[in-house]
């Protein structure tokens, strides 16, 4: 996949650079500045990917488009940033899909747990008909959906026991960042949920405020959460970053500017889809080296989990109608 992705990227880069050189448009128009807030730290993979996006857009535009990335909620947190984006004060963002439920309930469909068995199935969903329909649903809120990228392996980490069956969730207080479908699935499995920022998870686990956490494997390891929540199970639910732009700003761009930005965002999404999974084994070794335990649910264990959250599947069918039939065709 990596060589295939690099080949696509190389072709896109060459085409874009040649187009810019031939048109000479960079000399003819004023500079475009893209304000791009990020919640996560400067060293987090998602921030680094966004910085690379900015450098490439600057290069492809002949230096005319400047992307200013503000990591660590330096400028806005996600909620305030999206509000500023709808008002045109922020040009672009790419936060996790859970933050978009307030703008379109269709974003809940991305998080349905235990459905996508492989990365290929998940990406076919994101980049296919339903994924595009979900992006288009943002336009009523003055938001243009450009693309998605995979947030990577998602896990449930707990303080005292490894999750292998529904009864293991009983009595747990699990931190989430506010993904409603995930929270309902966890409650059906027997846990309660608590919404707290990721930066407060370590101390909350130490103090007993929570006994578990739902987050990405990368965030878990880089924040050393194995020191307080050492039992880790790969959560068969998915989360995506959503690349968006302010529609009022986007609609006023030159078509070539829109093309440069959208193609580069999609290229970085494709690269990130690969990169965010390639370190999984390294992260697992880090967990085990520090005394933690790691588990991936077997097919039998997955079937039992799906049976327990069947009421959620039924509810989603009732809420969304035919659009979920393809996603839930086997369940």
Residue 237: per-residue pLDDT? 85
Examine the domain organization and report whether 174 and 273 are in the same domain. no
**Three-class secondary structure of residue 129 per DSSP:** helix
Examine the domain organization and report whether 272 and 297 are in the same domain. no
Is 112 domain-assigned?
no
Is the model's pLDDT at 28 over the cut of 80?
Answer: no
Tell me the per-residue pLDDT of 65-98, one tens digit each, with 9 for 90 and over: 999 999 988 999 999 999 999 999 999 999 999 8
Instruction: Identify which has the larger pLDDT, 90 or 197.
Output: 90
Tell me the per-residue pLDDT of 121-131, one tens digit each, with 9 for 90 and over: 999 999 999 99
The pair of three-digit structure tokens given for residue 75, joined into one six-digit string: 């400028």
Is 329 domain-assigned?
no
Over residues 167-172, the mean pLDDT reads 96
Is 228 domain-assigned?
yes
Residue 10: per-residue pLDDT? 53
Examine the domain organization and report whether 20 and 80 are in the same domain. yes
The CATH number for 10's domain is 3.40.190.170
Is the model's pLDDT at 5 over the cut of 80?
Answer: no
Give the pLDDT band of residue 3 (cuts 50, 70, 90).
Answer: very low
Share of the chain above pLDDT 70, in %: 91
Is 111 domain-assigned?
no
Examine the domain organization and report whether 60 and 184 are in the same domain. no
Name the domain count of the chain.
Answer: 2
> What's the Cα-to-Cα distance from 63 to each of 55, 118, 260, 269, rounded to whole Å?
9, 39, 12, 22
Examine the domain organization and report whether 134 and 48 are in the same domain. yes
Residue 263: per-residue pLDDT? 98
Is 331 domain-assigned?
no
Examine the domain organization and report whether 129 and 186 are in the same domain. no
Examine the domain organization and report whether 127 and 177 are in the same domain. no
121: CB partners within 8 A, 6+ apart = none
Is 224 domain-assigned?
yes
The pair of three-digit structure tokens given for residue 251, joined into one six-digit string: 């609609």
Helix then strand then coil, in percent of the chain rounded to 5, is 55, 15, 30
Cβ(174)–Cβ(191) under 8 Å? yes
The angle subtended at Cα 7 by Cα 3 and Cα 12, nearest 5°, is: 150
The angle subtended at Cα 120 by Cα 217 and Cα 292, nearest 5°, is: 20
- Which secondary structure element, helix H or strand E, spans residue 231, and what is its range? strand 231-234
Tell me the per-residue pLDDT of 282-307, one tens digit each, with 9 for 90 and over: 999 999 999 999 999 999 999 999 99
Give the pLDDT band of residue 215 (cuts 50, 70, 90).
Answer: very high
Examine the domain organization and report whether 126 and 251 are in the same domain. yes
Cβ(144)–Cβ(245) under 8 Å? yes
Is 330 domain-assigned?
no
Examine the domain organization and report whether 83 and 231 are in the same domain. no
Is 110 domain-assigned?
no
DSSP tag of 201: H
DSSP tag of 236: S
Examine the domain organization and report whether 129 and 260 are in the same domain. yes
- Which secondary structure element, helix H or strand E, spans residue 36, and what is its range? strand 32-37
Q: Provide the domain limits for residue 201.
A: 154-237+280-324
Examine the domain organization and report whether 136 and 88 are in the same domain. yes
Examine the domain organization and report whether 80 and 25 are in the same domain. yes
Is the model's pLDDT at 6 over the cut of 50?
Answer: no
């Amino acid at each position: 996949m990596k060589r295939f992705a690099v080949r696509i990227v190389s072709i896109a880069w060459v085409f874009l650079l040649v187009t810019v050189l031939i048109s000479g448009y960079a000399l003819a128009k004023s500079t475009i500045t893209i304000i791009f807030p990020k919640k996560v730290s400067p060293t987090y993979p998602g921030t680094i990917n966004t910085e690379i996006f900015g450098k490439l857009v600057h290069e492809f535009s002949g230096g005319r488009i400047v992307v200013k990335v503000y990591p660590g909620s330096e400028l806005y947190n996600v909620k305030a940033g999206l509000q500023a984006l709808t008002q045109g004060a922020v040009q672009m963002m790419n936060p996790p899909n859970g933050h978009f439920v307030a703008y379109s309930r269709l974003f809940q469909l991305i998080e349905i747990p235990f459905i996508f068995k492989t990365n290929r199935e998940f990406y076919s969903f994101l980049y296919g008909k339903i994924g595009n329909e979900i992006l288009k649903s943002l336009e009523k809120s003055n938001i243009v959906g450009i693309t998605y990228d995979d947030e990577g392996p998602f896990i449930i980490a707990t303080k005292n026991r490894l999750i292998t069956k529904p009864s293991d969730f009983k009595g747990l207080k699990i931190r989430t960042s506010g993904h409603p479908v995930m929270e309902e699935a966890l409650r059906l499995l027997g846990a309660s949920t608590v919404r707290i920022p990721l930066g407060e998870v370590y101390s909350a686990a130490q103090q007993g405020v929570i006994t578990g956490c739902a987050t990405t494997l990368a965030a878990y390891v880089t924040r050393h959460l194995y020191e307080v929540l050492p039992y880790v199970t790969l959560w068969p639910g998915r989360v995506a970053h959503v690349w968006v732009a302010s529609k009022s700003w986007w609609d006023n761009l030159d078509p070539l500017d829109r093309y440069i930005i959208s193609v580069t965002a999609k290229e970085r999404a494709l690269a990130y889809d690969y990169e965010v999974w390639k370190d999984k084994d390294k992260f697992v070794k880090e967990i085990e080296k520090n005394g933690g335990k790691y588990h991936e649910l077997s097919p039998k264990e997955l079937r039992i989990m799906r049976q327990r959250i069947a009421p959620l599947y039924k509810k989603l069918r009732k809420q969304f109608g035919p659009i979920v039939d393809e996603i839930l065709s086997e369940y």
